[in-house]
Structure formats: C-alpha cells, structure tokens
Amino acid sequence: MKNITTVSVKLESELKKDYERTLNELGLSMSAGFQAFAKAVVRQGGMPFEMMIDPFERKEHQDELKRRIDEYESGVTQLVDMTEEFE
C-alpha cells in the first residue's frame, strides 16, 4: 500500500466552487484533480502550462503609462489624430 499524506490548500471560495464543478464534469474528485496536477508537475519538471506576466501589468509599463497620462493631463503632450494616415 502506498504511503498517503494530507495536503491543505487555500483557495478563494469562488475559485474552489468553479474548480470543483469543472472536475465533477470530468468525473474527478478534487483530490484526483490535485493528484493529476502534482504528477504533471513532476513528469514535466515544472508547471504543466506556460506561466507569463501580462506585459501590460509589468511595473515599468505601468510607470510609462502613468508618465504619459501625466504629460497629457498637464498639457506637455497632445494627442494626434492619425486616422487620415491609415485611410
């Protein structure tokens, strides 16, 4: 018999409901879903899906956006209508 251990996971309530509902549709329990995920991580030597930061959410992009908005609001920069250029 395999040695089994218990793992406690914290999830947001709505995420847990959605996760459980999705697994139920697949005919899996939450435990089986976590087991499949853990096996995939071990098998692939990392996350079984691509993990990336949304470029828009990066701090340097947010800082640049704020700088440009501040320039526009203070009158330093003006918006230019480029629609005629693309017609």
pTM of the model: 0.56
- The pLDDT of residue 8 is 93
**How many CA atoms within 13 Å lie on the side-chain side of 7?**
10
- Domain boundaries, position 65: 13-86
Instruction: Indicate whether 38 belongs to any domain.
Output: yes
- For the chain, the domain total comes to 1
Mean of all residue pLDDT scores within the chain = 88
What tokens were used for 14? 């709505």
Instruction: Indicate whether 19 belongs to any domain.
Output: yes
What sign does the CA torsion over 59, 60, 63, 68 have? negative
Instruction: Indicate whether 3 belongs to any domain.
Output: no
- 71 within 8 A of 77, measured Cβ to Cβ: yes
Query: Which pLDDT tens digit goes with each residue over 24-56?
Result: 999 999 999 999 999 999 999 999 988 777 777
Instruction: Indicate whether 5 belongs to any domain.
Output: no
Instruction: Indicate whether 8 belongs to any domain.
Output: no
Instruction: Indicate whether 47 belongs to any domain.
Output: yes
